[in-house]
Amino acid sequence: MERTDFLFPRSRYRGDVKPENLVFNANLQEFSQRVSYITCLETGGKLTPEESYKQIKALWKQLKRSKKELGIGHSPFDGGPA
């Protein structure tokens, strides 16, 4: 097993196969992995609760921006949620 596969495991995507869905799924898995590391560091006393919150909030903003840029959840025909 490669070191990166061990540290950053990826689950198989089983949804509607579109490029934007695959990219968002990869972003979501990365978000989840990083939040897991941050919470472990905070639990172990390596990060303060405030620093953990700031880091997770920044990651959330990145994920939210990626969702918006990829057009996930919006219909191209009516401009609203799908």
Q: Is the pLDDT reported for residue 76 higher than 70?
A: no
In a domain, 65, yes or no: yes
Number of folded domains that form the chain: 1
In a domain, 10, yes or no: no
Residue range of the domain that includes 38: 18-70
In a domain, 25, yes or no: yes
Q: Is the pTM of this model over 0.85?
A: no
In a domain, 60, yes or no: yes
Give the residue ranges of DSSP H helices in the chain.
3-7, 19-43, 49-70
- As given in the structure block, the two tokens for residue 20 are 């934007």
Q: What type of residue is 46?
A: K
Q: Is the pLDDT reported for residue 64 higher than 80?
A: yes
Contact 69, 20 (CB under 8 A): no
Q: Which of 37, 74, 79 is nearest to 55 (CA)?
A: 37
Q: What is the share, in percent, of the chain residues with pLDDT greater than 90?
A: 66
Kindly give, in sequence order, each residue whose CB lies less than 8 Å from that of residue 80, ignoring residues fewer than 6 positions away: 74
Q: Is the pLDDT reported for residue 59 higher than 70?
A: yes
